């Protein structure tokens, strides 16, 4: 026993010696990035996000955390400095795990813990993570850092780099990149470049070559059909699209608006604005029937839209995108004679018409997951091919290793007939044009453009595949959002008592109706979603359900007013 205690004490003192010299540097550097006393921030679905002025200490500390994560995983980790579709004065950060995916929930917890430790408790908080995760501090660490075009991003990304070096980690600063590009770099690095080359040039080359190969299968596309109007949200996506354009070899003619040369980031433009306001961004000239799309601020979301001959605006959101991609993939799998299990992953917000079309007409598996890209990504990984998109336009397609191998074997098989060979080659190039690490506006745009060209489809024909059910989203202020608890991928409320029963009763009053409620992830609000056969009924149902939430779940302020 005595020997054990002595041994343990010797080990503990040895650990102190190995860790302490690095902690001296952390202590010194940390005083240059002090935390405002009492400030509390949560690592949420989209990482940290708030006014840029409050983020310097967070950035430094996330440099420390990703260094530990890299030592733990023996792999390169990514940090992206961005606040996506938030206003220009905000900023934030997202952490990227070794395969280019979002960081694990446990480490999200550590991020919150480290971010909120008061200045004098920082070293103890670090020590706690090192011990809990049994991290070998002599292990080498590598961190990739990228940033968007916000004016605050330069100094904030420098704070991340300071954090990495304070713990003796190595960093590579990619400078200005889209969020999906940084995810891509991390994945390339950790697969020893099997996924691609970990450079921006490598990213352009892989995607553009695949796109050009795909469009060779499009018969006689006119210049008009090759034309696309793009709203770059005055963000990083516009910058990167400009860089990439020449590599598209005139297979796509892009008119770029809101390119950042004069407008403000995300102001009256971008995918979020278009989706929420249901109207085109400011500064875009729309000719009837012309294809237009919008990226969001960090280019991980995309939505399409057009104006018809009457000037009426039509939006094609993530549900429509997932449907188009699913039709294309299903046809190719049939032509190639490949038996692969394909599914579409949606959230409760997916329009009921899209779910019905996918299940009843296309006959593909549909899974519903909780809101938040990481939940969809995880659910999509359970299939040979998983197509996932949130209605807001964030999504991608995942192929299992086995699926990729089967596609490749077929593409290289010289004894199959021409139809199967063509389908296999199309599938192979489709895999290469897709960024599987995360939703990517540039990659999704190239895939959609290739599909429309190959199928000889107009945007109106795509839109006509199914008609969206009219819907309405509302918010109800409550005293405590934790009062509401949900199940079944957030489609049913289990508390407070009586709320779900009330919703069920209200839904019965309208045709083709459904409604659900879910608490906001960040503020004391409850989000209400309703759809029905007509817009008037969707609005009325949303209001009825809002009243039920207000009365049964501790609403604050005045009762929700009817919309009409």
Q: Note the pLDDT tens digit of each residue in 492-509.
A: 999 999 999 999 999 999
Please give the pLDDT value at position 4: 40
Q: Residues of the chain with pLDDT > 70: what percent?
A: 96
Comparing 42-46, 102-106, 326-330, 469-473, which segment has the lowest mean pLDDT? 42-46
Given pLDDT bands bounded at 50, 70 and 90, which one contains residue 1?
Answer: low
Tell me the mean pLDDT in the region 28-34. Answer: 94
Which residue carries 């197509």 as its tokens?
Answer: 387
Tell whether the model's pLDDT for residue 168 goes beyond 70: yes
> Which helix (H) or strand (E) is 237 found in, with range?
helix 236-244
Please give the pLDDT value at position 20: 57
Contact predicate 546/528, CB 8 Å: yes
Cα distance between residue 31 and residue 563, in whole Å = 52
Contact predicate 242/234, CB 8 Å: no
The superfamily in CATH containing domain 2-176 is: Alpha-D-Glucose-1,6-Bisphosphate, subunit A, domain 3 (3.40.120.10)
Question: Which has the closest alpha carbon to 154: 91, 222, 233, 96?
Answer: 91
Residue 84 a catalytic site member = yes
Tell me the mean pLDDT in the region 214-220. Answer: 90
Cα distance between residue 490 and residue 503, in whole Å = 14
- Burial of 360-373, coded b for 16+ CB within 10 Å and e otherwise, reads eeeebebbbbbbbb
Contact predicate 346/367, CB 8 Å: yes
Please give the pLDDT value at position 37: 85
Cα distance between residue 295 and residue 231, in whole Å = 6
> Which helix (H) or strand (E) is 96 found in, with range?
strand 90-96
Given pLDDT bands bounded at 50, 70 and 90, which one contains residue 16?
Answer: very low
Contact predicate 81/157, CB 8 Å: yes
Cα distance between residue 542 and residue 520, in whole Å = 16
* Average of per-residue pLDDT values in the chain: 94
Tell whether the model's pLDDT for residue 369 goes beyond 50: yes
Residues of the chain with CATH 3.40.120.10: 2-176, 318-463
Looking at the structure, give the CATH architecture of the domain made up of residues 471-552: 2-Layer Sandwich (3.30)
Tell me the mean pLDDT in the region 347-353. Answer: 96
Binding-site positions read 84, 296, 298, 300, 390-392, 518-522, 527
Please enumerate in sequence order all residues whose Cβ is within 8 A of that of 412, keeping only pairs 6 or more positions apart, or say none.
none
Residues of the chain with CATH 3.30.310.50: 471-552
Please give the pLDDT value at position 428: 98
Please give the pLDDT value at position 5: 39
Tell whether the model's pLDDT for residue 11 goes beyond 70: no
Tell whether the model's pLDDT for residue 385 goes beyond 50: yes
Binding-site positions for substrate read 390-392, 518-522, 527
pLDDT digits (tens, 9 = 90+) for 260-316: 999 999 999 999 999 988 899 998 989 999 999 999 999 999 999 999 999 999 999
Tell whether the model's pLDDT for residue 180 goes beyond 60: yes
CATH topology of domain 210-300: Alpha-D-Glucose-1,6-Bisphosphate; Chain A, domain 3 (3.40.120)
Helices (H) and strands (E) in the chain, counts: 18, 19
Q: Which of 84, 153, 353, 443 is catalytic?
A: 84
**Which pTM does this prediction carry?**
0.93
Joined tokens for residue 186: 């991390």
Cα distance between residue 189 and residue 170, in whole Å = 14
pLDDT digits (tens, 9 = 90+) for 85-94: 888 999 999 9
Which residue carries 């010299």 as its tokens?
Answer: 21
Binding-site positions for Mg(2+) read 84, 296, 298, 300
Contact predicate 91/84, CB 8 Å: no
The DSSP code for 246 is G
Tell whether the model's pLDDT for residue 57 goes beyond 90: yes
pLDDT digits (tens, 9 = 90+) for 452-480: 999 999 999 999 999 999 999 999 999 99
What CATH number should be reported for the domain whose range is 318-463? 3.40.120.10
pLDDT digits (tens, 9 = 90+) for 232-267: 999 999 999 999 999 998 899 999 999 999 999 999
Tell whether the model's pLDDT for residue 14 goes beyond 50: no
Please enumerate in sequence order all residues whose Cβ is within 8 A of that of 121, keeping only pairs 6 or more positions apart, or say none.
none
């Amino acid at each position: 026993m005595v020997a054990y205690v002595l041994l343990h004490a010797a080990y503990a003192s040895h650990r102190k010696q190995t860790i302490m010299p690095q902690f001296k540097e952390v202590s010194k550097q940390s005083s240059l990035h002090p935390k405002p006393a009492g400030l509390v921030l949560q690592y949420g679905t989209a990482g940290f996000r708030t006014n840029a002025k409050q983020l310097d200490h967070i950035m430094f500390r996330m440099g420390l955390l990703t260094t530990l994560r890299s030592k733990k995983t023996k792999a390169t980790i990514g940090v992206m400095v961005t606040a996506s579709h938030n206003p220009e004065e905000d900023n934030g950060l997202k952490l990227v795990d070794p395969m280019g995916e979002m960081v694990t929930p446990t480490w999200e917890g550590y991020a919150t813990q480290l971010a909120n430790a008061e200045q004098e408790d920082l070293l103890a908080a670090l020590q706690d993570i090192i011990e809990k995760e049994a991290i070998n501090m002599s292990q080498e660490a590598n961190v990739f850092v990228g940033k968007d075009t916000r004016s605050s991003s330069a100094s904030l990304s420098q704070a991340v780099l300071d954090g990495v070096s304070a713990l003796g980690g190595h960093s590579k600063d990619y400078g200005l990149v889209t969020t999906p590009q940084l995810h891509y770099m991390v994945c390339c690095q950790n697969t020893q470049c099997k996924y691609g080359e970990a450079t921006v040039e490598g990213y352009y080359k892989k995607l553009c070559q695949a796109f050009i190969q795909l469009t060779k299968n499009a018969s006689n596309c006119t210049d008009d059909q090759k034309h696309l109007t793009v709203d770059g949200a005055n963000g990083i996506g516009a910058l990167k699209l400009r860089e990439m354009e020449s590599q598209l070899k005139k297979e796509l003619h892009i008119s770029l608006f809101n390119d950042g040369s004069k407008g403000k980031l995300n102001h009256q433009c971008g995918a979020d604005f278009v989706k929420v306001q249901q109207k085109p961004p400011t500064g875009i000239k729309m000719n009837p029937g012309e294809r237009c799309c919008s990226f969001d601020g960090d280019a991980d979301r995309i939505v399409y839209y057009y104006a018809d001959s009457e000037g009426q605006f039509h939006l094609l959101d993530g549900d429509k995108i997932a449907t188009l991609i699913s039709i294309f993939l299903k046809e190719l799998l049939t032509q190639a004679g490949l038996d692969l299990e394909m599914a579409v992953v949606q959230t409760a917000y997916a329009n009921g018409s899209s779910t019905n079309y996918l299940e009843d007409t296309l006959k593909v598996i549909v899974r519903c997951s909780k809101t938040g890209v990481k939940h969809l990504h995880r659910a999509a990984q359970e299939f040979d091919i998983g197509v996932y998109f949130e209605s807001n336009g964030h999504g991608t397609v995942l192929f299992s290793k086995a699926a990729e191998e089967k596609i490749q074997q077929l593409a290289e098989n010289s004894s199959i007939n021409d139809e199967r060979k063509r389908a296999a080659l199309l599938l192979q190039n489709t895999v290469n044009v897709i960024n599987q690490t995360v939703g990517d506006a540039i990659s999704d745009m190239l895939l959609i453009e290739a599909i429309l060209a190959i199928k000889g489809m107009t945007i109106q024909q795509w839109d006509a595949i199914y008609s969206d059910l009219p819907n309405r989203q509302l918010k109800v202020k409550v005293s405590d959002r934790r009062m509401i608890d949900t199940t079944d991928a957030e489609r049913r409320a289990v508390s407070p008592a009586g709320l779900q029963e009330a919703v069920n009763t209200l839904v019965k009053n309208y045709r083709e109706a459904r409604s659900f409620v879910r608490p906001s992830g960040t503020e004391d609000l409850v989000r209400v979603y309703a759809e029905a056969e007509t817009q008037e009924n969707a609005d009325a149902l949303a209001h009825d359900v809002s009243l039920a939430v207000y009365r049964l779940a501790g609403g604050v302020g005045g009762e929700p007013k009817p919309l009409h």
